[in-house]
Structure 1
Amino acid sequence: MTHPFEIGLEQELPADPEQVWAAIATGPGIDSWFMGRNEVEEREGGAVSMETGGRREDAVVTAYEPGRRFATRTSAAPDGRFMAFEYLIEGRAGGSSSVLRVVHSGLLGDDWQDEYDALRSGWPFHLHTLREYLAHFAGRTGTPTFGLRVWDGRTRDEVRTAIARALGADERLAVGLPVHADVPGLPPLDGVVVWADDDRAAVRTADGLYTFHQGAGVAVMFHHLFGAADGAEPAWQAWLAALPA
């Protein structure tokens, strides 16, 4: 059985509507703060795709009003499940900031409660990453970098602690904490924690946004690199794989 849902959020952003539009309605813009590698055919009725770790999800543009409104919708699965996203941009007086309203809706499957809870808790994190991007890297295009490790039998807390220790913390990351990581084949990572909760963490450096997602038996990375990125994805995957179990 499917279950309808709707999530609505609002985020003030330190950017004008044109900059916000470029971030939420173009492939390179979405690559710079959200998940995966994205392509957007920039017109109503255009194709949209997101590829993450070998998995591809396709959608279609259902609204395209530059600087104001952008919406997409996935095709319905055999059981009727689908996802729809609507972004509404409103410029603030003075033109240097905007408010972004996001509505995520659709139909979820039998495990709808867990999936809804994950979506609901994830959106504030993603909008915070968007704000970090526009505040510190506006006008630059990030290279998305993905990593995944399955830790069978490990709790979420154990996975979170392993990542925290690899970044130089004792047990937990905290906002404002300076962190350091040595990734073989890449320059050292030196940055500051800009988000930390039980499930997710984000680190900002001079040339990147590094995000870590922690669950029971699994760790996922979605990084956005604004400097040199050659070889970064396999290097970060090797770093994640080498963390003590």
Structure 2
Amino acid sequence: MSQEFEIVREFEVDAPPEKVWEAVTTGTGGYLWPMDPPEPREGGKGPFGSTVTAWDPPHRYTNRSENVGMPTQSVNELGYTIESRDEGRRAWVRYVHSGIFTDDWNNQYDGASKHTNFYLHTLREYLTHFAPRPVTFAQLQGPAASRTPRALAAVGRALGLADDTAAGTKVTVQGPGGRTLDAVLDYRNPYFVGLRTDHALIRFFGRGHWGAPLGISIHDFAPDADAEANESAWQAWLNEVFSRA
């Protein structure tokens, strides 16, 4: 049965409002994924077939999609309100994700809510450590064997993370091709793991909790970054993890 939903988050970040505005409207893939930027006007075309319903730089941006084309959702709306703090040195952000789920409401809401926390954390990491550096984006997903709530724990073991390693810890992890990566474990809970290196944000999505394969995204800010090479290397690594699982 169709039912409306609303997910609201508020946070402050060490970045001026203009920098936050650029991050959420240019669609570079610095913290989310590459997408077409919205037409800079109310009523303009937004990403993924949406319509811009509010456009007030650098304070308010909203887009809305109807007839989304997803089997479990018919309406989707994303909104950002951005205010200046500390004489423009910081920003306060209110993010609202709303719409209508048409089926499996509890599972869809749980997944969207938990993903929202992770995406907005990644936005803050991007703004604090990398913006506005150009990004090379890659994403991939695991095999069918990763479609389980236990998948993220298997990935943690393959990376070499101890079960009690907490977010904020500096770590050395085992990456593709036997390479070691020095990183900060910037996010960790039973659903997601985030690693921040000197030149990349590497995100692991334990989507088996919602019946989907585990996913990885790589936001690479190195000048010589290669999306295909990143995707190929991490796909081989992930396939190997679950060939042993």
What SS does the corresponding residue of 1:23 show, helix, strand or coil?
A: helix
Structure 1 unaligned residues grouped into runs of 5+: 50-56
Give me the whole-angstrom Cα distance separating, in 2, the residues matched to 1:153 and 1:130.
26
User: Are 2:32 and 1:41 equivalent residues in the alignment?
Assistant: no
Question: Taking every aligned residue pair, what percent have the same amino acid on both sides?
Answer: 34
Distance 1:161 1:173, change over 3 A: farther
Cα contact 1:40–1:46 (8 A) shared by 2? no
Distance 1:68 1:224, change over 3 A: same
Q: Pick one of 121, 125, 134 that aligns with 2:118.
A: 125
TM-score, normalized by length of structure 2? 0.87
Distance 1:59 1:173, change over 3 A: farther
Give me the whole-angstrom Cα distance separating, in 2, the residues matched to 1:18 and 1:153.
39
Q: Aligned Cα RMSD in Å?
A: 2.2
Distance 1:224 1:65, change over 3 A: same
Q: Pick one of 216, 226, 241 that aligns with 1:221.
A: 216
CA offset at residue 67 of structure 1? 0.6
CA offset at residue 152 of structure 1? 3.3
CA offset at residue 46 of structure 1? 3.1
Q: Pick one of 45, 49, 54 that aligns with 1:58.
A: 49
User: Are 2:89 and 1:91 equivalent residues in the alignment?
Assistant: no
Distance 1:154 1:25, change over 3 A: closer
Distance 1:38 1:95, change over 3 A: same
Distance 1:86 1:154, change over 3 A: closer
Match of 1:196 in 2: 188
What SS does the corresponding residue of 1:218 show, helix, strand or coil?
A: coil
- 200-209 or 61-70, larger mean C-alpha shift: 61-70
Q: Pick one of 190, 200, 208 that aligns with 2:200.
A: 208
AA partner of residue 37 (structure 1) = P
Cα contact 1:164–1:173 (8 A) shared by 2? no
Distance 1:171 1:23, change over 3 A: same
CA offset at residue 37 of structure 1? 2.3
Cα contact 2:204–2:215 (8 A) shared by 1? yes
What SS does the corresponding residue of 1:139 show, helix, strand or coil?
A: coil
Question: Superposed, which structure 2 residues align to 1:1-245 within 5 Å?
Answer: 1-28=1-28, 31-34=29-32, 36-44=33-41, 45-49=43-47, 57-77=48-68, 81-152=74-145, 155-157=148-150, 159-171=151-163, 173-175=165-167, 176-184=169-177, 188-216=180-208, 218-227=213-222, 228-230=224-226, 231-243=229-241, 244-245=244-245
* Matched pairs, number: 233
AA partner of residue 128 (structure 1) = H
Structure 2 unaligned residues grouped into runs of 5+: none
AA partner of residue 60 (structure 1) = T
CA offset at residue 182 of structure 1? 3.1
CA offset at residue 201 of structure 1? 0.8
Give me the whole-angstrom Cα distance separating, in 1, the residues matched to 2:175 and 2:79.
39
